[in-house]
Structure 1
Amino acid sequence: MRPPVEVSVFLLSLLAPAVLYTLNNIPALQEPLPILGVGLVVLGSFLLLLSLVVRNKTKVDPLFYAFAEFAFTCLVGLTNALEQDGFISGFMRFYLKMGEPHLSTAYAIMMSYWEGVFHYILFLVIIHCMFKGKPYRSLGLLWAGSSIAHQIVLIPGVVIGKYGSSIKPAFWRNTPFFVAPFWAASVLFSRPRQMPIVKADTISAEQSKSLLRRPVDLLLSILLLGTMAFSVFRGFVVLDCPLDACFTYIYQYEPYLKDPVGFPRVMMLGYLFYAVPLVTIFIYGLMTPGCSWMLDWTLFFAGAMAQTQWCHIGASLHSRTPFTYRVPADKWWPVITLNVLLAVVPTLLALRCYTNPTYFMKPVPKGQSDKEKKKN
């Protein structure tokens, strides 16, 4: 009897540490171009193995291959994080030296933990749902937001940061991993959303309530306004705003924002130019009934903010970050609290939309509502 597909993917992904250990002990392959070539061959071979796993399946979702391939790289990332933190050794030395030296930074280590734990579990659950006929669109959107946020911080951060002058050929293996999440997100967004069946009267009653009569939504709106204000402020900080408040904050509260690795600067600019407009739209969605797009985009945004804030908080405290750029001990609680809230608020918003979507459903025409009353 063949094992379930998710079990096969799990077992195949365990090859990642073995492959890294083997390559780490073959000197001939520890040059920039051979590293890139071997990396592409390994990824291609893994795709071939995946096709053998599902060869008896009548219909396979193309997203399966992307999710399974990412599952393999998740364990590569986890291996890197464990080695950088001293739990294991002998796996990544060659790759960090001649491949992607930026993976030894605190930000990349926290990113690797996120991929190796959260993304990895998410992939296995999605693949399980995929072959059991269960819905996985929402989980996929959560991952898409997280992965896209990861890519738009990592790649520009490497280019503009202190590692920009030492980019090696292996860095360009990130290209397919940059494109794939955007492709997967477009596929997931284009698929129909599963909505619960709710009576027209219930929808009309819920959507007739103003924001003041919905205390949860009112609180979320206030928290989102706070998220906007904090994101705008930190965007000004990394743009070297001369205001005293910006100067005080970057030197006395979050000196990590001026770390030369480049990742925190790119992240804050991403918040300023992408997160702030999205949050503005979400506040509009909380005040306007029938904005069904809230159900998808809040999940996407929650994944993005959780990933970036995990990396940002962890890196600002990690021992790999020079002491002068870490959060000062006497400012630890206010800084960490604000950063945690920045991840928690989008998650709470997504949970509110997902668990009680009535307000965001398309309004029922009055004639249809009257017909339903007559039937009852």
Structure 2
Amino acid sequence: MNLQGTIVAFLVSQSSWGLLYIVGSTSIIRNPLVMLAAGVIFIPGFAILLRKLLPSVYEDNLGTHKRNWFFYMCCLFSWSCVIDLVLCLESLGYIDGYMDFYLESGEPYFITSFGIYINMWDAVIHYILYLTIIYKYDNKQDYRSYGIYWLGSMLAGMFVLTIGAIVGSYGNDLHPAMFLNIPYIILPFCALVYLLRLPRDENSPVQEYPPAELRSKSIGAFDILVILGLIASTVIGFVRGLASLGSPFPMIVHYVKEYEPYLSDPTKFGALHCLFNFVYCLPAQVMLIYALVKGGGKWADDLSTILSGAMAQGVFFHALAAISSLTPLEFRVVSNVEFFLVLNALIVLVSHFAMFRLKQKKNEHLKFQ
């Protein structure tokens, strides 16, 4: 068991606390251009430090290993997760003096309910995923599914964050520090190509069935329940998508007014989450329904994993921001809160059940491909 990369990435990421406290105590950092320059220096600086601490070629009892850019990206992004944790805690008032300068003159939308919960997700879920991938990479274990799940989550979050910052109410209060998000937009797309080209782990246990029995197992009761769930989730996503586009249709107006006023929030984060689902997740859900009925193979496995990651993060920050006391009362979900939370929880569960079932189907059919 090789823990070198995991331990180094963890320790380097925790150094953010001291660095941010020192930087935050200097007055010059409050200048937006200085803030951008500091970020431009620190991000590659930490990348170089990680490269020095974790050589690209090393040997252990398992043999000779090579680390590539994806490994170092996960190490660097784990450092950013701790920064997001500090931003989250400072926004909630649990700590003070670390990043108040950034919330004022860097990315002020992080102080909104959406900003707090997206940082919370990054600081906890993404952090765990990065350390898991680093550990599995160093121990020559399969990390492909973990990476693809992270990709779905990351792409969904960055879409809402970057577009919302520009088109929402914070569009007239943008600062140069926003450009520090560029690596977190470009690198996930590079990671998408890299991960999809990785060989799959075909060493997982495969349950063998005779071909006739395999056909009889193609559609079961659980499959039907998942398909019905995906259909319901698609209908809900369609209604929300129309609402995010400002449809004047009476049913849509009634839904927004009575069940989800957060879609009218001027920050646009809620509306953009639903628009993302409308444009990208709805077609994916239709394709997964087809895969459950006809059998989709390996592409359905990857698509369901990406969709599950996107749904998990998107619903987390959307649902909690919609009921948060930090959201203005007129846009906050105050009635039917239990219904709203259960509905969103079911949307996440359905996507994960579909992922689980399609992975099973892939393994069942693996011996007969």
Q: Output the TM-score relative to the length of structure 2.
A: 0.93
Question: Partner residue of 1:371?
Answer: none
2:284 to 278, 282, 307: 278
The residue identity in structure 1 corresponding to 2:171 is G
User: Relative to 1, partners in 2 of residues 1:90 and 1:241: Cα closer, same or farther, differing over 3 Å?
Assistant: same
Within-5 A mapping of 1:1-376? 4-55=4-55, 57=58, 58-195=65-202, 196=204, 198=206, 201-202=209-210, 205-209=213-217, 211=219, 214-328=220-334, 330-359=335-364, 361=366, 363-364=368-369
CA contact (8 A) 2:137 2:143 kept: yes
Question: Partner residue of 2:61?
Answer: none
In the TM superposition, residue 198 of structure 1 has moved relative to its aligned partner by 4.2
In the TM superposition, residue 334 of structure 1 has moved relative to its aligned partner by 1.2
User: Relative to 1, partners in 2 of residues 1:140 and 1:258: Cα closer, same or farther, differing over 3 Å?
Assistant: same
Aligned-pair RMSD on alpha carbons?
1.8
Query: Match of 1:301, SS?
Result: helix
User: Relative to 1, partners in 2 of residues 1:41 and 1:159: Cα closer, same or farther, differing over 3 Å?
Assistant: same
Distance 1:259 1:249 in 2: 14
1:167-225 CA-partner distances (Å, limit 9, x unpaired): 111101111110111111110111111224647754553234453xx111111000000
Query: Match of 2:342, SS?
Result: helix
Moved more, 193-202 or 242-251: 193-202
Unpaired runs of at least 5, structure 1: 365-376
- Specify the structure having the higher radius of gyration (Cα): 1
Query: Match of 2:336, SS?
Result: helix
Distance 2:259 2:365 in 1: 39
The residue identity in structure 1 corresponding to 2:215 is Q
Unpaired runs of at least 5, structure 2: 59-64
CA contact (8 A) 2:149 2:306 kept: yes
In the TM superposition, residue 243 of structure 1 has moved relative to its aligned partner by 2.4
The residue identity in structure 2 corresponding to 1:262 is K
In the TM superposition, residue 34 of structure 1 has moved relative to its aligned partner by 0.7
- Number of equivalenced pairs: 360
Q: Output the TM-score relative to the length of structure 1.
A: 0.91
